[in-house]
Amino acid sequence: MPDDSYTPPKVWTWEPGNGGAFASTNRPIAGATHEKALPEGEHPFQLHSMGTPNGQKVTILLEELLEAGYPAEYDAWYIDIGEGDQFGSGFVAVNPNSKIPALLDKSGETPVRVFESGAILMHLAEKFGAFLPASGPARAEVLSWLFWQMGSAPYLGGGFGHFFAYAPEKWRYPIDRFAMETKRQMDVLDRQLAERPFIAGQEYTIADMAIWPWYGALALGRSYPDAETFLSVHEYTHVMDWAKRINVRPAVNRGRRVNRTSDEPGRYLRERHAASDFDGIA
Protein backbone atom coordinates (compact mmCIF):
# COMPACT_ATOMS: atom_id res chain seq x y z
CA MET A 1 0.00 0.00 0.00
CA PRO A 2 1.20 3.57 -0.61
CA ASP A 3 2.38 5.75 2.24
CA ASP A 4 -0.82 7.54 3.30
CA SER A 5 1.19 9.94 5.44
CA TYR A 6 2.97 11.51 2.48
CA THR A 7 2.29 15.21 2.01
CA PRO A 8 3.82 16.89 -1.06
CA PRO A 9 6.32 19.59 -0.07
CA LYS A 10 5.92 23.17 -1.25
CA VAL A 11 8.90 22.71 -3.59
CA TRP A 12 9.75 19.30 -5.03
CA THR A 13 13.39 18.23 -5.00
CA TRP A 14 14.93 15.30 -6.82
CA GLU A 15 16.11 12.30 -4.82
CA PRO A 16 18.41 10.17 -7.02
CA GLY A 17 17.44 6.51 -6.94
CA ASN A 18 13.75 7.13 -6.39
CA GLY A 19 11.66 5.73 -9.21
CA GLY A 20 11.71 1.96 -9.29
CA ALA A 21 13.00 0.00 -12.27
CA PHE A 22 14.22 3.01 -14.24
CA ALA A 23 15.64 5.06 -11.39
CA SER A 24 19.22 4.75 -12.64
CA THR A 25 18.47 6.73 -15.82
CA ASN A 26 15.70 9.06 -14.66
CA ARG A 27 16.66 12.66 -13.94
CA PRO A 28 14.90 16.06 -14.04
CA ILE A 29 17.29 17.74 -16.50
CA ALA A 30 18.11 17.33 -20.19
CA GLY A 31 21.39 17.30 -22.08
CA ALA A 32 24.33 14.94 -22.43
CA THR A 33 25.99 13.30 -19.44
CA HIS A 34 29.06 12.07 -21.32
CA GLU A 35 30.92 12.36 -24.59
CA LYS A 36 30.18 9.53 -26.99
CA ALA A 37 30.10 9.72 -30.78
CA LEU A 38 27.51 7.71 -32.64
CA PRO A 39 28.66 4.95 -35.00
CA GLU A 40 27.99 5.43 -38.68
CA GLY A 41 27.24 2.85 -41.35
CA GLU A 42 27.16 2.97 -45.13
CA HIS A 43 23.42 3.18 -45.71
CA PRO A 44 21.31 6.33 -46.31
CA PHE A 45 19.36 5.90 -43.08
CA GLN A 46 21.11 5.67 -39.73
CA LEU A 47 18.75 4.57 -36.98
CA HIS A 48 19.78 4.70 -33.33
CA SER A 49 17.20 2.86 -31.30
CA MET A 50 16.10 0.04 -29.05
CA GLY A 51 13.38 -2.47 -29.86
CA THR A 52 10.73 -1.09 -27.55
CA PRO A 53 7.29 -0.51 -29.10
CA ASN A 54 8.37 2.97 -30.18
CA GLY A 55 11.53 1.59 -31.74
CA GLN A 56 9.65 -1.21 -33.49
CA LYS A 57 7.41 1.27 -35.30
CA VAL A 58 10.34 2.58 -37.32
CA THR A 59 12.06 -0.71 -38.08
CA ILE A 60 8.73 -2.18 -39.18
CA LEU A 61 8.22 0.72 -41.60
CA LEU A 62 11.76 0.44 -42.94
CA GLU A 63 11.32 -3.29 -43.51
CA GLU A 64 7.92 -2.73 -45.15
CA LEU A 65 9.50 -0.17 -47.48
CA LEU A 66 12.25 -2.60 -48.42
CA GLU A 67 9.68 -5.37 -48.89
CA ALA A 68 7.78 -3.11 -51.29
CA GLY A 69 10.94 -2.38 -53.31
CA TYR A 70 11.83 1.10 -52.08
CA PRO A 71 15.52 2.05 -51.58
CA ALA A 72 15.27 2.33 -47.81
CA GLU A 73 18.41 0.46 -46.73
CA TYR A 74 19.38 1.30 -43.20
CA ASP A 75 21.77 0.66 -40.36
CA ALA A 76 20.12 0.11 -36.99
CA TRP A 77 22.43 0.76 -34.05
CA TYR A 78 21.55 -0.42 -30.55
CA ILE A 79 20.94 2.19 -27.85
CA ASP A 80 20.92 0.65 -24.40
CA ILE A 81 18.62 2.97 -22.47
CA GLY A 82 19.23 1.00 -19.27
CA GLU A 83 22.91 1.94 -19.50
CA GLY A 84 22.22 5.58 -20.36
CA ASP A 85 23.38 5.49 -24.01
CA GLN A 86 20.65 8.02 -24.82
CA PHE A 87 22.55 10.63 -22.83
CA GLY A 88 25.70 10.40 -24.93
CA SER A 89 26.66 13.59 -26.74
CA GLY A 90 26.22 12.06 -30.19
CA PHE A 91 22.74 10.80 -29.47
CA VAL A 92 21.65 14.06 -27.86
CA ALA A 93 22.82 15.89 -31.00
CA VAL A 94 20.30 13.84 -33.02
CA ASN A 95 17.58 13.83 -30.36
CA PRO A 96 17.81 16.56 -27.70
CA ASN A 97 14.98 14.81 -25.84
CA SER A 98 17.19 11.74 -25.20
CA LYS A 99 14.54 9.22 -26.18
CA ILE A 100 14.65 6.45 -28.75
CA PRO A 101 14.27 6.25 -31.69
CA ALA A 102 16.44 8.82 -33.46
CA LEU A 103 17.07 8.86 -37.19
CA LEU A 104 19.75 10.53 -39.27
CA ASP A 105 18.63 10.72 -42.89
CA LYS A 106 21.72 11.03 -45.10
CA SER A 107 19.95 10.37 -48.40
CA GLY A 108 20.15 14.01 -49.51
CA GLU A 109 22.87 16.62 -49.77
CA THR A 110 22.40 17.71 -46.16
CA PRO A 111 21.85 15.18 -43.35
CA VAL A 112 18.49 15.57 -41.62
CA ARG A 113 17.88 14.58 -38.02
CA VAL A 114 14.41 13.30 -37.17
CA PHE A 115 13.26 12.37 -33.68
CA GLU A 116 9.96 11.23 -32.15
CA SER A 117 8.70 7.99 -33.65
CA GLY A 118 5.59 9.55 -35.21
CA ALA A 119 7.69 12.21 -36.94
CA ILE A 120 10.05 9.54 -38.28
CA LEU A 121 7.11 7.54 -39.67
CA MET A 122 5.75 10.64 -41.42
CA HIS A 123 9.18 11.63 -42.73
CA LEU A 124 9.85 8.24 -44.29
CA ALA A 125 6.31 7.73 -45.60
CA GLU A 126 6.35 11.13 -47.30
CA LYS A 127 9.86 10.63 -48.64
CA PHE A 128 8.89 7.44 -50.44
CA GLY A 129 5.23 8.21 -51.07
CA ALA A 130 4.19 5.00 -49.35
CA PHE A 131 1.84 3.92 -46.55
CA LEU A 132 0.43 7.45 -46.22
CA PRO A 133 -2.09 8.95 -48.65
CA ALA A 134 -0.82 12.11 -50.33
CA SER A 135 -3.86 14.25 -49.60
CA GLY A 136 -7.53 14.42 -48.78
CA PRO A 137 -9.72 12.67 -46.22
CA ALA A 138 -7.71 9.45 -46.35
CA ARG A 139 -4.53 11.26 -45.34
CA ALA A 140 -6.34 13.10 -42.55
CA GLU A 141 -7.68 9.80 -41.21
CA VAL A 142 -4.23 8.20 -41.12
CA LEU A 143 -2.67 11.19 -39.39
CA SER A 144 -5.50 11.38 -36.87
CA TRP A 145 -4.85 7.77 -35.83
CA LEU A 146 -1.09 8.27 -35.85
CA PHE A 147 -1.44 11.16 -33.41
CA TRP A 148 -4.05 9.22 -31.44
CA GLN A 149 -1.38 6.62 -30.81
CA MET A 150 1.23 9.19 -29.84
CA GLY A 151 -1.13 10.72 -27.29
CA SER A 152 -2.71 7.50 -26.02
CA ALA A 153 0.14 5.03 -25.63
CA PRO A 154 1.75 6.85 -22.67
CA TYR A 155 -1.31 5.85 -20.65
CA LEU A 156 -0.70 2.24 -21.62
CA GLY A 157 3.08 2.24 -21.17
CA GLY A 158 4.04 4.93 -18.68
CA GLY A 159 0.72 4.57 -16.90
CA PHE A 160 -0.63 1.03 -16.80
CA GLY A 161 2.60 -0.75 -17.70
CA HIS A 162 4.68 1.14 -15.19
CA PHE A 163 2.40 0.64 -12.21
CA PHE A 164 1.34 -2.91 -13.16
CA ALA A 165 4.80 -4.27 -13.97
CA TYR A 166 7.61 -1.94 -12.90
CA ALA A 167 6.69 0.18 -9.88
CA PRO A 168 8.47 -0.81 -6.66
CA GLU A 169 5.10 -1.50 -4.99
CA LYS A 170 1.64 -2.50 -6.22
CA TRP A 171 -0.69 0.44 -5.66
CA ARG A 172 -4.35 -0.10 -6.41
CA TYR A 173 -5.33 3.45 -7.32
CA PRO A 174 -2.93 3.98 -10.27
CA ILE A 175 -3.38 0.41 -11.51
CA ASP A 176 -7.16 0.79 -11.50
CA ARG A 177 -6.93 4.23 -13.08
CA PHE A 178 -4.70 3.20 -15.96
CA ALA A 179 -6.30 -0.23 -16.45
CA MET A 180 -9.61 1.56 -17.00
CA GLU A 181 -8.04 3.92 -19.54
CA THR A 182 -6.22 1.11 -21.35
CA LYS A 183 -9.44 -0.86 -21.68
CA ARG A 184 -11.20 2.25 -22.96
CA GLN A 185 -8.52 2.67 -25.61
CA MET A 186 -8.81 -0.98 -26.63
CA ASP A 187 -12.54 -0.43 -27.01
CA VAL A 188 -11.89 2.61 -29.21
CA LEU A 189 -9.75 0.44 -31.48
CA ASP A 190 -12.18 -2.46 -31.41
CA ARG A 191 -15.07 -0.28 -32.53
CA GLN A 192 -12.93 1.23 -35.29
CA LEU A 193 -11.78 -2.17 -36.55
CA ALA A 194 -15.29 -3.60 -36.51
CA GLU A 195 -16.04 -1.79 -39.77
CA ARG A 196 -12.69 -1.85 -41.62
CA PRO A 197 -9.69 -4.19 -41.98
CA PHE A 198 -7.10 -1.63 -40.96
CA ILE A 199 -7.01 1.22 -38.50
CA ALA A 200 -7.55 4.03 -41.00
CA GLY A 201 -9.62 2.19 -43.58
CA GLN A 202 -9.09 -0.35 -46.34
CA GLU A 203 -5.33 0.12 -46.67
CA TYR A 204 -2.43 -0.80 -44.39
CA THR A 205 -0.66 2.42 -43.35
CA ILE A 206 1.73 3.98 -40.87
CA ALA A 207 -1.24 4.22 -38.50
CA ASP A 208 -1.23 0.43 -38.20
CA MET A 209 2.56 0.36 -37.86
CA ALA A 210 2.39 2.90 -35.03
CA ILE A 211 -0.45 1.26 -33.11
CA TRP A 212 0.40 -2.43 -33.54
CA PRO A 213 3.64 -2.55 -31.48
CA TRP A 214 1.72 -1.18 -28.50
CA TYR A 215 -1.82 -2.49 -28.72
CA GLY A 216 -1.16 -5.48 -30.94
CA ALA A 217 1.52 -6.61 -28.50
CA LEU A 218 -0.96 -6.28 -25.66
CA ALA A 219 -3.54 -8.32 -27.56
CA LEU A 220 -0.96 -11.02 -28.36
CA GLY A 221 0.30 -11.25 -24.78
CA ARG A 222 3.71 -9.70 -25.46
CA SER A 223 3.57 -6.52 -23.43
CA TYR A 224 3.61 -7.04 -19.65
CA PRO A 225 3.45 -10.44 -17.92
CA ASP A 226 -0.18 -11.50 -17.39
CA ALA A 227 -1.50 -8.13 -18.60
CA GLU A 228 -3.59 -9.80 -21.31
CA THR A 229 -5.38 -11.84 -18.65
CA PHE A 230 -5.75 -8.95 -16.22
CA LEU A 231 -7.29 -6.75 -18.94
CA SER A 232 -9.34 -9.52 -20.60
CA VAL A 233 -7.99 -8.57 -24.02
CA HIS A 234 -9.78 -11.55 -25.61
CA GLU A 235 -12.95 -9.47 -25.37
CA TYR A 236 -11.67 -7.15 -28.12
CA THR A 237 -12.22 -9.58 -30.95
CA HIS A 238 -11.64 -7.13 -33.80
CA VAL A 239 -8.37 -5.94 -32.28
CA MET A 240 -7.31 -9.57 -31.82
CA ASP A 241 -8.03 -10.38 -35.47
CA TRP A 242 -6.18 -7.28 -36.70
CA ALA A 243 -3.20 -8.00 -34.43
CA LYS A 244 -2.89 -11.56 -35.72
CA ARG A 245 -3.14 -10.52 -39.38
CA ILE A 246 -0.38 -7.95 -39.02
CA ASN A 247 1.73 -10.34 -36.98
CA VAL A 248 2.19 -12.68 -39.96
CA ARG A 249 3.48 -10.00 -42.31
CA PRO A 250 7.12 -10.87 -43.16
CA ALA A 251 8.32 -7.28 -42.80
CA VAL A 252 6.64 -6.96 -39.42
CA ASN A 253 8.24 -10.20 -38.29
CA ARG A 254 11.64 -8.78 -39.22
CA GLY A 255 11.09 -5.25 -37.97
CA ARG A 256 9.96 -6.21 -34.49
CA ARG A 257 13.16 -8.20 -33.94
CA VAL A 258 15.62 -5.38 -34.61
CA ASN A 259 17.59 -3.63 -31.84
CA ARG A 260 16.58 -6.22 -29.27
CA THR A 261 18.58 -8.70 -27.22
CA SER A 262 17.72 -12.05 -25.72
CA ASP A 263 19.30 -15.00 -23.98
CA GLU A 264 17.81 -17.11 -26.76
CA PRO A 265 20.21 -17.21 -29.76
CA GLY A 266 18.60 -16.62 -33.14
CA ARG A 267 15.56 -14.75 -31.87
CA TYR A 268 16.49 -11.06 -32.13
CA LEU A 269 19.03 -8.77 -33.79
CA ARG A 270 20.97 -6.38 -31.57
CA GLU A 271 21.95 -4.45 -34.71
CA ARG A 272 20.87 -4.61 -38.32
CA HIS A 273 23.11 -3.58 -41.23
CA ALA A 274 22.00 -5.81 -44.13
CA ALA A 275 19.06 -7.97 -45.15
CA SER A 276 21.27 -11.02 -44.67
CA ASP A 277 21.47 -10.26 -40.94
CA PHE A 278 18.07 -11.92 -40.64
CA ASP A 279 19.38 -15.25 -41.90
CA GLY A 280 18.83 -17.76 -39.13
CA ILE A 281 16.49 -15.48 -37.15
CA ALA A 282 13.33 -17.38 -36.29
Query: What domain count does the chain have?
Result: 2
Q: Confirm if 223 and 52 have CB atoms less than 8 A apart.
A: no
Q: Residues 108, 56: one domain?
A: yes
Q: Residues 123, 140: one domain?
A: no
Q: Residues 97, 198: one domain?
A: no
- How are strands ordered across the β-sheet holding 74-78? 74-78, 45-49, 102-105, 112-115
Q: Residues 208, 151: one domain?
A: yes
Position 235 in a domain: yes
Q: Residues 127, 261: one domain?
A: yes
Position 10 in a domain: no
What pLDDT does residue 80 have?
96
What pLDDT does residue 4 have?
65
Q: Confirm if 214 and 227 have CB atoms less than 8 A apart.
A: no
What pLDDT does residue 21 have?
74
The CATH number that applies at residue 147 is 1.20.1050.10
Return the axis-axis angle of helices 53-67 and 117-128, rounded to nearest 10°.
Answer: 10
Q: Residues 22, 48: one domain?
A: yes
What pLDDT does residue 262 have?
86
What pLDDT does residue 3 have?
53
- Range(s) of the domain holding residue 98: 15-32+42-131+257-282
What pLDDT does residue 23 have?
73
Position 4 in a domain: no
What pLDDT does residue 18 have?
66
The CATH number that applies at residue 107 is 3.40.30.10
Position 6 in a domain: no
Selection from 222, 277, 232, 233 nearest residue 254 by Cα: 277
What pLDDT does residue 25 have?
82
What pLDDT does residue 266 have?
87
Question: Could you say which residues of the chain have pLDDT below 70?
Answer: 1-4, 18-19
